[in-house]
Amino acid sequence: MTTFSEDIYSEPSNIDVDTLRNLGPLSGLAGIWKGTRGLDVKPKAEGPKKQAYVERFELQPIDPQTNGPQLFYGLRYHQHVVKPDQVKTYHDQVGYWLWEPGTGTVIQTLTIPRAQVAMAVGKATPDAKSFELVASRGPETYGICSTPFLEYAFKTVEYRIKVSINADGTWSYDEDTVLMIRGKSDPFHHTDRNVLTKIGEPTPNPLARK
């Protein structure tokens, strides 16, 4: 159980405003990326279906954020996915990757335009080259929130993402979204994975640019 101070208002002093210098395990994610080897395994009425995809993944640094004594450094992201040689959006996702140096906590927030949000959390060291985050339904902190239809038909009970920062300058992810689908007794593992190659450098956050 996390213990907090009675002083919930005082903010940290002498904050380094350069986010790119303070991202800890998220340092390898900053920038603009392209992935051409994506594989999605999704549920269909006839059973699991495999789908190849390509994506553009942009992660840009934000100014340091405080909640009273808490201090976060982070990246604002947009993930845009299409099927190979198609224009129509296959998946769109926005959110933040956050690093809390004081506790070694990594957080991912995500929002998708099917009206679903989630917040996943994990622990890592500042120099970690791999880490895992998890969100599950039910708890008052972190977790998953969906529309009534998704709760009725495709209930998400867990979201898990493993990130690896690779020695060749790429990074990769492996996601597992566990669904309870109406009419099925066993959980379905909706998985996604890809390797991202950098195509553009990050833009320094506003305070650092000053």
Give the number of other CB atoms < 10 A from CB of residue 81: 20
Say if CB 91 and CB 111 are below 8 A apart: no
3-state class (DSSP) for residue 206: helix
**210 belongs to a structural domain:** no
In a domain, 14, yes or no: no
Could you tell me the CA-to-CA distances from 129 to 17, 31, 190 in Å, in that order? 24, 16, 25
Q: Give the tokens for residue 73.
A: 């450094």
What is the domain range of residue 179? 19-199
Token pair for 52: 């190849």
What is the radius of gyration, based on Cα positions, of the chain? 18
Asked if the structure places residue 8 within a domain, the reply is no
Q: Could you please report the per-residue DSSP string of 190-204?
A: EEEEEEEEEEEPPPP
Interval 139-167 mean pLDDT:
97
**Structure confidence at residue 201 (pLDDT):** 98
Residue type at position 54: V
Residue (of 2, 62, 48, 38) closest to 197 by Cα position: 38
Exposure string (b/e) for 93-130, b if CB count within 10 Å is 16 or more?
Answer: bebbbbbbeeebbbbbbbeeeeebebbbbbebeeebee
- Per-residue pLDDT tens for 162-210? 999 999 999 999 999 999 999 999 999 999 999 999 999 999 999 999 7
Bridge partners (DSSP) of residue 96 are: 76, 109
Are 157 and 178 in contact, with CB atoms under 8 Å apart? yes
Number of domains in the chain: 1
Mean pLDDT across 117-136: 98
Q: Which residue has the tokens 């007794």?
A: 185
CATH code of the domain covering residue 166: 2.40.128.20
Do the strands 171-181 and 89-100 form a parallel or antiparallel pair, or are they unpaired?
unpaired
In a domain, 128, yes or no: yes
pLDDT in tens, 135-145: 999 889 999 99
User: How much is the pTM?
Assistant: 0.96
119 within some domain: yes
